[in-house]
Structure 1
Amino acid sequence: MRILLFGDFSGIHKNLQEGLQELGYQSTLVSSGDGYKNLPSDISFSYDASKVFGHIYGRLKPFVFLPIFKGYDIVQLISPYYLRYKYFPASFYYYLLRKFNKKFFTAAAGMDPYFWRYGRLKMKYGPFDDFLKYDLNQKFCKFQLPDEFIFNEKIVSFSNGIIADCYEYGLSYEGHPNYKGYIPLPVNISKIKYQDNVPGKKLKIFHGLTRYGYKGTRHVEKAFEILSAKYPNQLDLKIDGRMPQNEYLKLVRDSNIVIDQTNSYGLGINGVSALAMGKIVLGGSEPEDLKAIGVENSPVINIIPNHKSIVNAIESLLIRKKEIQRIGYESRKYTEKVHSHLIVAKKYLSIWNSN
């Protein structure tokens, strides 16, 4: 079986590819590097956006490579918005990928109009308002436009299936005839070294800064302000980010506790990677997400978009400081059980083969 993984966000497809390859499947990854993260791929669509010619080249490059994107058994698109550029015929390009290959699947792996139209109505909380206010500094975004919903619907409707990589995105597509289910995020366990999480004099707590509003960083900042005043000799608090993935992971390795995000029902890929290292992770661990995954409990400490939930969680860990090493070990075991790239790859293969 030949598999083309088209596009990548936060290394989701890269980790999936490594799982597929270890299982003996031939797979090719096409990616633009996901911006400053500089993610690796087999074929790169990256270009220099600071130059006019770079933009032109960026629009032409996918068509230059199109002749070799033929004859695959499976093509999986990371999101309809991977190549949704101005002056680029994305829907036509995806149609050609569908036409030239046996099966075409779309991953629900990022914000899209379905998430904004349906997910927003179904979720008890989410990133929508803070994303508009802090990340875009506006009251409206393109995902709310009718034309964008039509584009989104067109792509997922000619797909053989839609596969969500988080609970919220899956919730957004529930009821769509092509929705095939939610598969947890994959991480390559063999590449992430576990180390015992032994606290020093101070608990080291880290929050990665990517999308300030979307991730709920303002709640973390407020919590850190309170905690630093109350526990100056017991806590080492750090917020940093917008750096290549390898540099980010170095900061995670030096921490005892990682705060992933406050606006999500489950973890993002960075939170899962922190779990695999043996870190205590604060983030999404809502009952709805755990039920969808098929587990009864998780070592992840659930937080909501409220600074008090973060303060309470950290204060509890200060009291239970002797338990941190044990919880860190449970974090690793949970990742091996739920997020192993091999286990996740088998779940994708099951859906691809049966649809």
Structure 2
Amino acid sequence: MKILLIGEYNRAHKFLKEGLIKLNHEAIVVGLNDGFKKVDVDILIKPYLEKGILKKIRVLFFKLFRYDLHSYFTKRQIIKHKNKLSGYDVIQFINESSFLCQAKTEKEIINLLTQWNKKVFLLSCGTDYPSVKYAFDKKLRYSILTPYFEKRLPKSSFSLGLKYLEPEFIELHKHMYNTIEGVISCDLDYTIPLKDNFKHLGLIPHAINTDKIAFTPLKISDKIVIFHGINRNNYYKKGNDIFEKALEIVKGNYNEKIKIITVENLPYHNYIKAFDEAHIFLDQVFAYDQGYNALEAMAKGKVVFTGAEQEWLDYYNLKKDTVAINALPDEKAIAKKIEWLILNPEKLIEISKQGRAFVEKEHYYIKCAKQYLNKWQTNF
């Protein structure tokens, strides 16, 4: 089969592509390279007008004409690459708005790519209408909108994804769902909002290429090293403020026993190396399942504080604190868990090994690629 993977978040489509190629299929990834993360794609859609005077021109043009020049340049690049983006058996969009364009332009791009290819599928991987609406209606105990409800983030914050609740993006959502054969969710944070959606084809875990990620057994000879990576744009959405408060508590009690590494907005290739010496990896708070950063850290042997809620434990038949640590939106609870690990370093080594084994079992990229192929072929 020939598969065209549209859009990129972290390495979601990159690792899937590698699995598909291992299974002797043809696959390419086209899209933006996920902002400062600089994720490699096969056909890069360049995000023009992002810095300096060009960004100011873009902002001014939008104020005057309510039209985003990014949308214009993105669609133009898609048309330019028509020959490379045509004739595929399957195309899969990573999101309802894969190119961060205005809703009208996203719809036009969907129409073009649909005309040029055969079956169309959607991956629910990142904020979209179903997940944002579910969170906005407060159907979850907590969510990425919790900082908004607590008035720590304005409605205008791009990280919240509230644009998906605007009329034009609701129309885009409807158009996408009228176009696709089905939607696949990549973890429980997106599966739960889709549970009653007739287009939902089920959950396929994030694909992780553990063949390329070396596991390093933890060695604890001196201080416990804690890594905290911050994406400043998602600071409150990811709960980085809560992690920082938790670290202040831990420093007050065990400062002589820990070393804290904090980094901000690193490109992927730098980021993946930055936590090599860490024992504990602080990922995100407002989640029920793990995303790519958490899974890659677990694959490397780090003990990760992330989404590991009861729904996730039930789905994978796990016991808590055996594979990952559930990071509750409570700095005292997080600090207590960190201190438990400081005082019980044998638990770090145990969870580290089990975390790697879990990723190999449930997220192995070739296994996940086979699941995608089954979904796509079943719905032909």
Q: TM-score, normalised by structure 2?
A: 0.88
Partner of 1:232, secondary structure, is helix
Give 2:114's match in structure 1, choosing from 98, 113, 122: 98
Partner deviation per Cα, 1:257-296 (whole Å, 9 max, x = no partner): 101111000111000000000111111111212334x333
Match of 1:41 in 2: 41
How far residue 248 of structure 1 moved from its aligned partner, in angstroms, is 0.9
Partner of 2:66: none
Tell me how far apart the structure 2 counterparts of residues 119 and 258 of structure 1 sit (CA, whole Å): 26
- Aligned residue for 1:89, secondary structure, equals helix
Mapped to 2, the partners of 1:87 and 1:183 lie a distance apart of 27
CA distance in 2, matches of 1:178, 1:95: 19
Aligned position for 2:80: 64
Amino acid at match of 2:201: K
Task: Work out whether 1:122 is the aligned partner of 2:121.
Answer: no
Q: 1:84 offset after TM fit, Å?
A: 4.0
Alignment of 1:298-313 (within 5 A): 298-313=322-337
Unaligned runs of 5+ in 2: 59-68
- What letter matches 2:107 in structure 1? S
Residue identity matched to 1:308: K
Whether the aligned pair in 2 keeps the contact of 1:264 and 1:284 (CA below 8 Å) is yes
Contact map agreement 1:30 1:43 (CA 8 A) in 2:
yes
Query: Of the candidates 216, 231, 235, which is equivalent to residue 258 of structure 2?
Result: 235
Contact 1:119-1:169 within 8 A present in 2 as well: no
Residues 17 and 136 of structure 1: is their aligned pair in 2 closer, same or farther, counting only changes over 3 Å? farther
The answer on 1:159 being equivalent to 2:155 is no
The worse-fitting range, judged by mean Cα deviation, of 194-203 and 141-150 is: 141-150
How is 1:1-355 mapped onto 2 (pairs within 5 angstroms)? 1-49=1-49, 50=51, 51=54, 55=70, 56-86=72-102, 89-120=105-136, 121-130=138-147, 138=156, 141-210=162-231, 211-292=234-315, 294-297=316-319, 298-355=322-379
Residue-by-residue CA offset, 1:305-331 (whole Å, 9 max, x unaligned): 111221111111012112322321111
Whole-angstrom CA distance in 1 between matches of 2:259 and 2:148: 28
Preserved CA contact (<8 Å) 1:59 1:88:
no
2: distance between equivalents of 1:268 and 1:319? 28
Query: Is the deviation greater in 48-57 or in 247-256?
Result: 48-57
Residues 173, 157 of structure 1: CA spacing in aligned structure 2 closer, same or farther, 3 A cutoff? farther
Compute the RMSD of aligned alpha carbons: 2.0
Q: Is the 8 A contact 1:122 1:171 kept in 2?
A: no
Q: Structure 2 CA distance, aligned partners of 1:137 and 1:174?
A: 27
Query: How many residues are aligned here?
Result: 354
Could you tell me whether the CA contact under 8 Å between 2:74 and 2:99 is conserved in 1?
no
What is the distance in 2 between the residues matched to 1:223 and 1:137? 26
Shift of 1:30: 0.5
SS in 1 for 2:193: helix
Q: What TM-score results when the alignment is normalised by the length of structure 1?
A: 0.93
C-alpha change, 1:114 and 1:285, in structure 2 (3 Å) is: same
Answer yes or no: is the 8 Å Cα contact 1:119–1:171 preserved in 2: no
Task: Kindly state the Cα deviation for residue 85 of structure 1 after the two structures are TM-superposed.
Answer: 1.3
Residue 139 of structure 2 aligns with an amino acid whose one-letter code is K
Q: Which runs of 4+ in 1 moved over 6 A?
A: none
Amino acid at match of 1:287: Q
Quote the Cα distance in structure 1 between the aligned partners of 2:174 and 2:103. Answer: 20
One-letter code aligned to 2:34: D
Q: Is the CA contact (8 Å cut-off) linking 1:114 and 1:149 kept in structure 2? A: no
Q: Secondary structure at the match of 1:188?
A: coil
Identity %: 28
Q: Tell me if the contact between 1:166 and 1:266 (Cα under 8 Å) persists in the aligned partners.
A: yes
